[in-house]
Amino acid sequence: MELAGMSAAAARGRRGYSFTRGLGFLFVAIACALGSAGARAICVETGTGSGDGLWSFAQGQPIGPSSITVYPQKFMPVGTVLFDQTYPMTYLLGGNANAVVAKCTDTASASKVSAALRLDDTYQFGGFDVGGTRYYYVQYVYPSNSTMYTTVGWKLYGVMADGSQRELVFNDSGAASNTAVVFPTSGGYESSTRADKLTYPYVVMAKHFPSVRLVMVRSPYDDNKFAVVSDGYIGRIGIAHTDYGGGSTDSTYGYIKFGNYQPTPSAACGVSSVPRTVDLGSHAKATVAAGSAPWSGFTVTYECTSANSPVSSLRIGFEPQQRGNLVATNYRYLKSDAVANAAQGVGIVYRRQGESGSRYWVQNSGCSGVSTATQNNSNCYLARSQTQDQGWYKANYLSSGSSATAGYTEYAEPFEARLELLPDTAANDVTTGGVTATVNVLVNQP
């Protein structure tokens, strides 16, 4: 055997000494051990492309709605959620869940690969707070030496597989020590099937990275003031790794980008006044059974923006808070809420004043938001495709006039309600008692 660092002749000259031979083997063993300890465990990023296992830059897959309709703050207060959607990293990096974002020489190194997510603060200036949460405006102005705002604000979060999330933060530094929010992949990696698997036997994929959640809300302004439309870059996706050679948490995998849209302001209507209570009166069983209970009248007042008022297309409907009390075989009848000594066998019907028959109640408007005596924040987007059979009727106001709020017009429409015998119910099956139901009055622009 030839010893490292000696000539062959010198090795043969010492072959007669067992001690020297032992030293030679010891020297080789030490050299091998040093060589193993000196090997560097690393992970490196992979390239982009359209082939199997490759990823593409995130800005190629914009996020957000294709459009947003924004109503005046009178009907859509600051902080009203307009859009809320979570996008998996699979989508952001090109749609391939198995796209390899990093390849590693060993499991210890692979388990340290983390996603670094942060906001892109190159152009985004200004924002507003709602309930202690900071939102940023959809457009930017460049250079940043003038006031700007829009009707919509946005917020980005990183979401882990277990549902936990963290708010993304600003930092322009590309260094590995910057303040990007780092999301460990929780040891997420797999054995490689790539051509270079002998060198890099382990891979981290797009599906091991966190998702990105985009929330958009109503801002404090009723118009858009911006000088330059944003390029849409609102966030950055990087890689964080203690062993990553020359890596950066900057934008290794590109930018989180908005789609190309503008928030569209729209005229709107909302209920401004309804009676808090409508007294249907006390009646004998025989009177109700005979269909002779009198109607109790009430008036609903709604208002619309005076400019480009949508009142001609407005619809109105009454939705019970306890929709389970609607009679499934005939949605004209609403049974009493659960109250002490509730009457049995009778229900509430309603109609527009002067009509001959009763109307359907709204079965399920899909409305979101809150309506109070002083503020309307109900947006019935799902109801736009619903029809009269679902309880929506064309508004037909009796009178109109100026609203107490400048720029709005009020409209008044009269309705009436009464007690009637429920379908397929005999008069003998009626029991006396109280009848109480709570309903929401809604207006909708289809």
Determine if residue 33 is left, alpha or beta; phi over 0 gives left, psi from -120 to 50 gives alpha, anything else beta: alpha
Task: Considering only residues 169 and 429, tell me which one the structure prediction assigns the higher pLDDT.
Answer: 429
CB 350 within 8 A of CB 318: yes
Residue type, 303: E
Distance CA 204, CA 44 (A): 10
Per-domain residue ranges for the chain?
8-37, 43-265, 269-444
Residue 27: its pLDDT value, please? 35
Which of 55-64, 138-147, 161-170, 270-279 is least confident?
138-147
Q: pLDDT band for 405, please (50, 70, 90 cuts).
A: confident
pLDDT(2) > 50: no
* Residue 183 pLDDT: 79
pLDDT in tens, 65-76: 888 888 888 778
- Report the alpha-carbon angle 210-211-214, nearest 5: 140
Calpha distance 343→323 (Å, rounded)? 18
pLDDT tens readout for residues 302-347: 999 888 888 989 999 999 999 999 999 999 999 999 888 888 999 9
* Residue 244: pLDDT over 70: no
Higher pLDDT, 236 or 240: 236
pLDDT band of residue 266 (cuts 50, 70, 90) is confident
Mean pLDDT of 245-268: 73
State residue 29's pLDDT score: 34
pTM given for the model: 0.68
Which of the pair, 414 or 379, is modelled with greater confidence? 414
How far is 42 from 258, CA to CA, in rounded Å?
A: 34
User: Which of these, 402, 309, 308, 420, lies nearest to 359 by C-alpha position?
Assistant: 420
Say which range, 7-11, 201-205, 320-324, has the weakest mean pLDDT: 7-11
Secondary element (H or E) of residue 235: strand 233-240
* Superfamily name with CATH number, domain 269-444: Fimbrial-type adhesion domain (2.60.40.1090)
CB 409 within 8 Å of CB 306? yes
Q: In what order do the strands lie in the sheet with 439-444?
A: 393-394, 315-320, 439-444
Lowest mean pLDDT among 164-178, 221-235, 286-300, 391-405: 164-178
What does the pLDDT read at residue 162?
86
Residue of 57 and 31 predicted with greater confidence: 57
> 417 CB contacts (<8 Å, ≥6 apart)?
278, 280, 295, 296, 298, 348, 349, 350, 351
Mean pLDDT, all residues of the chain: 80
- pLDDT in the model for residue 272: 85
The CA distance from 143 to 136, in Å, is 17
What percentage of residues in the chain have a pLDDT greater than 70? 77
Q: What is the DSSP letter of 142?
A: S
pLDDT for the residue 26: 36
- Categorize the per-residue pLDDT at 269 as very low, low, confident or very high, splitting at 50, 70 and 90: confident
Position 191 pLDDT exceeds 50: yes
User: What whole-number distance in Å separates Cα of residue 164 and Cα of residue 145?
Assistant: 37
Q: What is the mean pLDDT of residues 162-191?
A: 73
Answer with the residue of higher pLDDT: 241 or 78. Answer: 78
CA–CA–CA angle 233, 177, 36 (5° rounding) = 120
Q: Say which amino acid occupies 67.
A: S
